[in-house]
Amino acid sequence: MDIIRVEGGHLISGTVVVSGAKNSALKLMAATLLAPGATTLENVPNISDVHVMGKVLKRMGATIDVLDEHTLRIDTSAVSSWEAPYDLVAKMRASTAVMGPLLGRFGCAKIAMPGGCNLGARKIDMHILGLGALGVQFDTDHGYIHADAPEGLTGTAVTLEFASVGATENLIMAAVKAKGTTVIDNAAREPEIVDLANMLNEMGARITGAGTPVVQIEGVEELHPVTHRVVGDRIEAGTFITAAALMADESGVEVTGFNPINLGMVIKKLELMGVRIDRIENGVRAYRADHIEPVDIQTLPFPGFPTDMQAQIMVLSALADGNSIITENIFENRFMFASELVRMGADIRVESHHAMVHGVDGFSGAQVTSPDLRGGAALVVAGLIAEGYTEVSAIHHIDRGYERFVEKLCSLGAHVERLSVPDPIDD
Ligand SMILES: CC(=O)N[C@H]1[C@@H](OP(=O)(O)OP(=O)(O)OC[C@H]2O[C@@H](n3ccc(=O)[nH]c3=O)[C@H](O)[C@@H]2O)O[C@H](CO)[C@@H](O)[C@@H]1O
Ligand SMILES: C=C(OP(=O)(O)O)C(=O)O
């Protein structure tokens, strides 16, 4: 198995360019199903989740040419199967993003029901309710959802109970080809949804209001392929900014390739913690905090504090001069990371969806396990400042969403390596 080994205590400096956003690229790949022909996506991150989405599309009959490491040409002309199979959905829940486009283009889809995951139950009831309002009939058997719109889809008003990212995206992608107008109220406002709507509009869709709570979609007859560049990954950027806040030398670290407006609440909270962050073109320069102020944080849909930055900010608050409370409102099970950080010396008490974090003077390197994608990356970041060596296992989680994480950290001067070690179970 592979692990990441970090030798703590080395200052970092220089520039890191973030990749395209995982949470955008996956949906843009799914959206290519709506436009028969070859769509080219640029700035696609080379991460394992993108590889899984590629497999989902290929199993349906799409062809994918890798033009260079970050450019994919996806031809969906010959798609002849409308199924997202269990082996791939179980690997990556975002495979369910093909449901909306399949319904939009073919009026049917067969999707393996995603089970829960290490973040919690993660139901898709809002996707189903919303698509049902557009005229889709659902049936489930043998672990699959069969979605059918025999009369085609018809636009209508849909109010989401919660601003779900996935439900908003599936609804938009189904509604672009529905008859008439769909209005999604309480839509999610994440920048990746704006990126999706932008690409769909380039393809000929008529979507207004993406990035606001009310999205209006006027159905069109057909969409055409385009070339589109994936928006920069704000969460990867936030992860490197937290690393800089802990370990940058006096010149700071430049994090570029993303729009700081998309990370507004994270930057605000980091500034309240005493981290200096200067806006530069296409990114920020972040400096090490002399000491870290405690701060209370609650995760919320965009523009609130993103749940995908909760673990990384917990690393900083665990070293603050005082007590912080971190409240997780999006996923019921996203504090598993806290127990791993405690193994490194943090003082954190979790009660329900609150984590009481009492700042300590430092971390000590330890063997820890990635509980999930962001938790894994945050443990590597904690290792940068820990005394001694930190070994992070289960790094397949990190590979889902961070392209060349180790190489990028090393380019900043961190002492981090990826090692193959014998699996202890084989001993
Ligand atoms: C691939 C991708 O883009 N993943 C992101 C997406 O996940 P995802 O699209 O799964 O997140 P949602 O916004 O849909 O989910 C938020 C919450 O709503 C619940 N829910 C959602 C849909 C539904 O039908 N029923 C229901 O109960 C979920 O269980 C969760 O507790 O947004 C999350 C919230 O910003 C991010 O953390 C993920 O990184
Ligand atoms: C939770 C995340 O992703 P996913 O929805 O793909 O599990 C994440 O990116 O942190």
At 79, which CATH number? 3.65.10.10
70: alpha, beta or left? (left if phi > 0; alpha if psi -120 to 50): alpha
Taking 90 as the threshold, does the pLDDT of residue 22 lie above it? Answer: yes
In contact, 159 and 167? CB cutoff 8 Å: no
Q: Which of 210, 229, 248 is the last residue of a domain?
A: 229
**Binding site annotation covers 12?**
no
239: closest CA among 19, 76, 40?
Answer: 19
239-273 per-position pLDDT tens digit = 999 999 999 999 999 999 999 999 999 999 999 99
Residue 34 C-alpha to ligand 2 middle, in angstroms?
24
287 or 426: which leads in pLDDT: 287
Question: Cα–Cα distance between 307 and 235 in angstroms, integer?
Answer: 10
**Binding site annotation covers 330?**
yes
Closest residue by Cα to atom 18, ligand 1, is 164
Q: Which atom of ligand 2 is nearest to the CA of 374?
A: 10
Q: Which atom of ligand 2 is nearest to the CA of 307?
A: 10
Is the domain of 66 the same as that of 178?
Answer: yes
Residue of 18, 19, 22, 26 with the most ligand 2 atoms within 8 Å of its CB, for mutation = 22
Q: Which atom of ligand 2 is nearest to the CA of 401?
A: 9
Residue 120 to residues 117, 181, 239, 330, 335, Cα–Cα distance (Å): 5, 34, 22, 10, 11
**Binding site annotation covers 23?**
yes
In contact, 230 and 41? CB cutoff 8 Å: yes
Per the residue annotation, which of 113, 117, 350, 394 is the catalytic one?
Answer: 117
Residue 52 C-alpha to ligand 2 middle, in angstroms?
14
171-201 per-position pLDDT tens digit = 999 999 999 999 999 999 999 999 999 999 9
- Least-confidence region, from 70-74, 86-90, 121-125, 257-261: 121-125
Q: How confident is the model at residue 127 (pLDDT cuts 50, 70, 90)?
A: very high
Answer yes or no: is the C-beta of 353 below 6 A from any ligand 1 atom.
no
Q: Which of 193, 209, 229 is the last residue of a domain?
A: 229
Is the domain of 43 the same as that of 7?
Answer: no
Is the domain of 339 the same as that of 252?
Answer: yes
| Residue range of the domain that includes 363 | 2-19+232-426
Q: What is the predicted pLDDT for the residue at 315? A: 98
333-391 per-position pLDDT tens digit = 899 999 999 999 999 999 999 999 999 999 999 999 999 999 999 999 999 999 999 99
Q: Express as a percent the part of the chain with pLDDT over 90.
A: 95
Taking 70 as the threshold, does the pLDDT of residue 425 lie above it? Answer: no
Q: Give SS3 for 246.
A: helix
Is the domain of 173 the same as that of 320?
Answer: no
Is the domain of 163 the same as that of 299?
Answer: no
272-323 per-position pLDDT tens digit = 999 999 999 999 999 999 999 999 999 999 999 999 999 999 999 999 999 9
Is the domain of 114 the same as that of 250?
Answer: no
Q: Domains in the chain: how many in total?
A: 2
Q: Which atom of ligand 1 is nearest to the CA of 235?
A: 39
3-class DSSP string for 145-185: EEEECCCCCECCEEECCCCCHHHHHHHHHHHCCCECEEEEE
Is the domain of 339 the same as that of 387?
Answer: yes
Q: How many CB atoms lie within 10 A of CB 2?
A: 15
**Start-to-end Cα distance in the chain:** 13
Taking 70 as the threshold, does the pLDDT of residue 426 lie above it? Answer: no
Is the domain of 47 the same as that of 184?
Answer: yes
Inter-axis angle of helices 125-133 and 99-106, nearest 10: 20
Q: What is the predicted pLDDT for the residue at 118? A: 83
252 — phi, psi (to 5°)?
A: 80, 180
Residue of 122, 158, 266 with the most ligand 1 atoms within 8 Å of its CB, for mutation = 122
Q: How many CB atoms lie within 10 A of CB 196?
A: 28
The interface pTM score, or ipTM, of the predicted complex is: 0.99
With a CB cutoff of 8 Å and minimum separation 6, the contacts of 426 are none
Q: What ligand is nearest to the CA atom of residue 166?
A: 1
Tally of CA atoms within 13 A in the half-sphere of 312 that contains its CB: 26
Question: Cα–Cα distance between 111 and 50 in angstroms, integer?
Answer: 18
Is the domain of 207 the same as that of 241?
Answer: no
117 tagged catalytic: yes
Is the domain of 327 the same as that of 357?
Answer: yes
**Binding site annotation covers 343?**
no
Q: What is the predicted pLDDT for the residue at 177? A: 98
Is the domain of 256 the same as that of 166?
Answer: no
Q: What is the predicted pLDDT for the residue at 122? A: 84
Q: How confident is the model at residue 427 (pLDDT cuts 50, 70, 90)?
A: low
- Least-confidence region, from 143-147, 396-400, 422-426: 422-426
Closest residue by Cα to atom 19, ligand 1, is 122
Is the domain of 197 the same as that of 257?
Answer: no
Q: What ligand is nearest to the CA atom of residue 353?
A: 1
With a CB cutoff of 8 Å and minimum separation 6, the contacts of 256 are 15, 16, 17, 18, 280, 281, 282, 283
The burial of 213, by beta-carbon neighbours within 10 Å (0-12 exposed, 13-18 middle, 19 or more buried), is given as middle
**Binding site annotation covers 348?**
no
Closest residue by Cα to atom 6, ligand 1, is 165
Q: Which atom of ligand 2 is nearest to the CA of 166?
A: 5
Question: Cα–Cα distance between 255 and 41 in angstroms, integer?
Answer: 23
Side chain identity at residue 303, one-letter code:
P
Q: Express as a percent the part of the chain with pLDDT over 70.
A: 99
Question: Cα–Cα distance between 223 and 201 in angstroms, integer?
Answer: 9
Q: Which of 179, 206, 229 is the last residue of a domain?
A: 229
Q: How confident is the model at residue 234 (pLDDT cuts 50, 70, 90)?
A: very high
Answer yes or no: is the C-beta of 23 below 6 A from any ligand 1 atom.
yes
Side chain identity at residue 297, one-letter code:
I
In sequence order, the β-bridge partners of residue 16 are 255
Answer yes or no: is the C-beta of 186 below 6 A from any ligand 1 atom.
no
Side chain identity at residue 205, one-letter code:
A
Answer yes or no: is the C-beta of 308 below 6 A from any ligand 1 atom.
yes
